[in-house]
Amino acid sequence: MSVIKIEDVSKLFGFGDAATVALDEVSVTIEKGEFLAIMGPSGSGKTTLMNMIGLLDRPTYGQFMLDEKDVSKMRVNKRAKLRRDNIGFIFQSFHMLPKLSVLENVALPLAYKGVSQTKRLKRASAVLEQVGLSDREYFYPHQLSGGQMQRAAIARALVNSPSIIIADEPTGNLDTESTRVVMELLSEIHSMGNTILMVTHNPILTRYASRIIYMRDGSIVYDEASDVGQLPGRVERALQAVRTSREEERIAGVSDYLKAMPQKKSPKRTTTKNKKRHSAKRRTKS
């Protein structure tokens, strides 16, 4: 069963000549239990797509089905409830409330759901144990390292037992070791049957994914399935092409290489509407 089905979705910011086309007739179907890595240069529409799927934003055009229900035109309250019950978010910058303890931060999503305080804290404590932070429950966010903070944020994303986890550059602020810990954790969550969508700039991390999509200028330019534990073919070829021992240079080089790789899809039909929108984008960029 497809958990997510997006058809010809476009997202425009602004109006008329000043409009930016953040998503340009994107279609994608995601099955339950997939682990998607989403790559692409900055400004290519990755966050916009994640916000759309996470029900934080609506498409300007097109249809979006979540669990086979059309959510594109659903009312605000219903969307909020659906989001709360089904989706967990993890961001690059953690988004922890500084005046609440780690335990309270993790329990917060349950408060919006009307769960009693005792039950909230018990559940929060259980997920903190799952991410290996039992001994940090009563710490405040500023007392945690970046890696611990992201693990706490993952616990918060899991507290509602969502079926979809959306992680927008979850390791963007982390060192190599914390990145590994966070990725192992996401991998474990994936192996329990959850669907994970992860935006990343680090091609090496696509190894954890079962599918990689690459975005450019608001479109998905390629989409490749790959076995978990293996690098997708394109990333593998890019890695072989970029030979440098320095980790950061290698990641940047591989990203550039991927960017330059030709797209597989046939050029999409250009409708009048489309042409108009493309010229709107060019104008904003110049």
Ligand X SMILES: Nc1ncnc2c1ncn2[C@@H]1O[C@H](COP(=O)(O)OP(=O)(O)O)[C@@H](O)[C@H]1O
Contacts with ligand X by CB under 6 A lie at 13, 20, 22, 40, 42-48
Which residue has the CB atom at the shortest distance from Mg ion?
47
Given Mg ion, ligand X, none, residue 22, with its beta carbon under 5 to 8 Å by kind, binds ligand X
- Give which of ligand X, Mg ion, none residue 62 binds (C-beta under 5 to 8 Å, depending on kind): none
Residue labelled with tokens 């966070």: 182
Are 150 and 170 within 8 A, CB to CB?
yes
d(CA 53, CA 6): 9
Cβ–Cβ under 8 Å, residues 203 and 235 = yes
- Euclidean distance between the first and final Cα of the chain, in Å? 43
- Subset of 106-125 contacting Mg ion (CB under 5 A): none
Q: How far is the CB of 215 from ligand X (least distance, A)?
A: 6
CA distances from 5 to 69, 72, 139, 244 (A): 9, 11, 40, 39
- How far is Cα 280 from Cα 18, in angstroms, rounded to an integer? 6
Cβ-proximal residues to 273 (8 Å cutoff; 6+ apart), any chain: none
CB of 114 to ligand X, least distance (A): 31
Select from ligand X, Mg ion, none the partner in contact with residue 13, using the beta carbon and a kind-dependent cut-off of 5 to 8 Å.
Answer: ligand X
For residue 18, what are its two tokens? 């000043």
| Cβ nearer to ligand X, comparing 60 with 187 | 60
- For residue 51, the minimal CB distance to ligand X (Å) is 8
- Closest contact distance (angstroms) between CB of 214 and ligand X is 11
Choice from 10, 20, 44, 47 touching Mg ion (CB under 5 A)? 47
Distance CA 129, CA 137 (A): 9
Closer residue to Mg ion (CB): 47 or 171: 47
Pairing state between β 61-66 and 87-91: unpaired
| Residue with smaller CB distance to ligand X, 213 or 231 | 213
15/114 with CB nearer ligand X: 15
Q: Which does 6 bind (CB under 5 to 8 A by kind): ligand X, Mg ion, none?
A: none
**Nearer CB in complex with ligand X: 45/170:** 45
Radius of gyration of the chain (CA): 20
State in angstroms the smallest separation of the CB of 13 from ligand X: 3
Q: Does 255 bind Mg ion (CB under 5 A)?
A: no
Among Mg ion, ligand X, none, what does residue 20 contact (CB within 5–8 Å per kind)? ligand X
Q: Which is nearer to Mg ion, 40 or 232 (CB)?
A: 40
Residue (51 or 163) nearer to ligand X, CB? 51
CB of 35 to ligand X, least distance (A): 19
Task: Please name which of 217, 199, 155, 195 lies closest in space to residue 67, comparing C-alpha atoms.
Answer: 195
* Cβ pair 163, 86 in contact under 8 A: yes
Contacts 24+ apart (CB under 8 A), 232-239: 232/206, 234/258, 234/261, 235/203, 235/204, 235/206, 238/203, 239/203
Stretch that binds Mg ion, among 19-27, 39-47, 51-59, 260-268 (CB under 5 A): 39-47
Interacting residues with Mg ion (CB under 5 A): 46-47
